[in-house]
């Protein structure tokens, strides 16, 4: 085990949230940004909108990429607008995982599965379908209530070491402990991973998915950076974090989700019944070859971001000057980062509106840019020249759903890793 500070309140700003080293090196600084999931009602448009610094650093000791702004949890998760079940692609991914992991681990009625950050029950519904007992832990009450309505047992709470101890005492020790796109959302990283170790049964397995910082850097995915994401992980760094709490990563898969993610498999280090698979060391070697064990590769990222920001701004303004109409698809968190980082004074003069399948977002306005959110059917009425796909990670799904725009000569545009137009 490496030395690590004991679980406590999140370290003060400008110190690494894992190893507590002083943060000296900028990864990227996006300035002051609104919270990307803080969608506004019409009556809120005339009020002052809160924004927070979004300065991302890389730790020179453990190479954990992280931002140093501690946003109050209530500001992030009260009235939360992200519901996993509105992406068909993500549901297919969740079902495939459920089928795979139940078979791989031989899970059945005598086992217990716990998912932290379980959202609206999008994943646990498929585990339940195999007859396996489940429990979700979700801090956003409005989202958790949707899970409960579909029959997925869900606790409305923030996960950490104290809650893990309570759940274990209640008999919810996990044979499988899941965290998909949640590890980056919990500012007190040590408290979270300590909780994972506490709740995991002696022979249990943890699987976690998160965007891979190596892919983020290689493909300039800066729009995945926002306040909810405190961390951006490499395998090298997450292995060190888990080892500090007595957990060993024994397998890893590279996934296409969210532009390139990792799925790690971990167990208690003191129970080496599951050997470390060759792909773990192979991926760590690739990360080292890509420069992820030294500072220069990280410090070069900010220049890549600035180039893309300029290209996006130029495309949008040029289309406006040419009299073209642009509509954005997907009131997505990553899209809000992209639009607010483009440095266009009034985005409403450039983009007509945004569409989204999630009825919870329809009738609201994007944070920062204040673009109105409509239902996708509105596109047929206005016939835009360009449909700018903000959640580029599901662009194929969206282009299939919206193929009818080609009937009037409409084209698709995607901004990451660089502006590209699709007929």
Average pLDDT over residues 122-127: 96
- β-sheet bridge partners, residue 284: none
Domain assignment present for residue 337? The answer is yes
For 76-86, the pLDDT digits (tens) are 655 555 566 66
For 180-196, the pLDDT digits (tens) are 999 999 999 999 999 99
Whole-number Å distance between alpha carbons of 333 and 316: 19
Domain assignment present for residue 368? The answer is yes
Whole-number Å distance between alpha carbons of 222 and 330: 17
CB–CB of 34/17 below 8 Å? Answer: no
Domain assignment present for residue 89? The answer is no
67 Cβ contact partners less than 8 Å away, ≥ 6 residues apart? 54, 55, 56, 57, 225, 227, 229, 230
Whole-number Å distance between alpha carbons of 407 and 386: 13
Domain assignment present for residue 311? The answer is yes
Domain assignment present for residue 376? The answer is yes
Strands of 373-374's sheet in order across: 373-374, 351-355, 326-329, 386-389, 411-414, 420-422
Total domains, the chain: 1
User: What angle do helix axes 278-289 and 235-243 make, rounded to 10 degrees?
Assistant: 120
Cα dihedral 7, 10, 15, 18, rounded to 10, equals 40
Domain assignment present for residue 266? The answer is no
| Mean pLDDT, the chain, whole residue set | 92
**pLDDT recorded at residue 14:** 83
Domain assignment present for residue 319? The answer is yes
Read off the pLDDT band of 1 (50, 70, 90). very low
**pLDDT recorded at residue 47:** 85
Angle at 220 between CA 214 and CA 226, to 5 degrees: 90
**pLDDT recorded at residue 219:** 93
Whole-number Å distance between alpha carbons of 161 and 198: 7
Is the pLDDT at 13 greater than 60? The verdict is no
Domain housing 346: 301-422
For 36-92, the pLDDT digits (tens) are 989 999 999 988 898 999 999 999 999 999 998 877 766 665 555 556 666 788 899
**pLDDT recorded at residue 75:** 63
**CATH number of the structural domain spanning residue 343:** 3.40.50.720
Read off the pLDDT band of 137 (50, 70, 90). very high
**What pTM value is reported for the model?**
0.89
For 263-284, the pLDDT digits (tens) are 999 999 998 889 999 999 999 9
Domain assignment present for residue 333? The answer is yes
Tally of CA atoms within 13 A in the half-sphere of 217 that contains its CB = 22
């Amino acid at each position: 085990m490496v030395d690590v500070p004991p679980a406590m309140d999140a370290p003060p700003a400008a110190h690494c949230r894992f190893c507590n080293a002083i943060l000296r090196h900028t990864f990227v600084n996006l300035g002051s940004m609104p919270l990307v999931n803080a969608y506004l009602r019409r009556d809120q448009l005339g009020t002052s909108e809160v924004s927070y610094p979004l300065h991302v650093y890389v730790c020179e000791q453990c190479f954990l990429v992280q931002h140093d702004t501690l946003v109050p949890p209530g500001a992030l998760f009260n009235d939360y607008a992200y519901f996993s079940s509105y992406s068909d692609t993500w549901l297919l991914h969740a079902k495939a995982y459920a089928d795979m992991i139940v078979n791989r681990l031989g899970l059945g009625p005598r086992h217990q599965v716990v998912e932290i950050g379980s959202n609206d029950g999008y994943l646990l519904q498929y585990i339940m379908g195999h007859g396996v007992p489940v429990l979700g832990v979700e801090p956003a009450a409005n989202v958790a209530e949707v899970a409960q309505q579909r029959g997925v047992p869900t606790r409305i709470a923030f996960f950490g070491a104290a809650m893990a101890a309570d759940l274990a005492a209640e008999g919810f020790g996990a044979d499988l402990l899941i965290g998909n796109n949640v590890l980056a959302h919990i500012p007190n990283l040590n408290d979270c991973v300590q909780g994972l170790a506490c709740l995991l049964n002696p022979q249990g397995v943890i699987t976690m998915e998160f965007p891979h910082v190596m892919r983020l850097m290689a493909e300039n995915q800066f729009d995945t950076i926002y306040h909810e994401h405190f961390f951006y992980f490499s395998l090298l760094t997450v292995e060190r974090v888990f080892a500090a709490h007595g957990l060993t990563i024994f397998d890893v898969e590279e996934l296409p989700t969210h532009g390139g993610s990792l799925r790690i498999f971990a167990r208690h280090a003191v129970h080496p019944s599951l050997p470390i698979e060759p792909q773990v060391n192979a991926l760590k070697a690739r990360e080292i070859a890509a420069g992820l064990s030294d500072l220069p590769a990280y410090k070069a990222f900010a220049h890549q971001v600035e180039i893309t920001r300029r290209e996006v701004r130029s495309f949008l303004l040029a289309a406006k000057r040419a009299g073209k109409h642009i509509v954005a698809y997907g009131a997505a968190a990553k899209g809000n980062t992209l639009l607010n980082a483009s440095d266009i004074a009034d985005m409403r003069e450039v983009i007509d509106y945004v569409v989204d399948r999630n009825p919870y977002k329809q009738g609201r306005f994007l944070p920062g840019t204040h673009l109105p959110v409509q239902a996708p059917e509105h596109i047929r009425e206005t016939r835009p020249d360009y449909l700018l796909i903000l959640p580029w990670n599901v662009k194929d799904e969206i282009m299939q759903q919206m193929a009818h725009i080609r009937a009037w000569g409409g084209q698709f545009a995607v901004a990451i890793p660089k502006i590209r137009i699709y007929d």
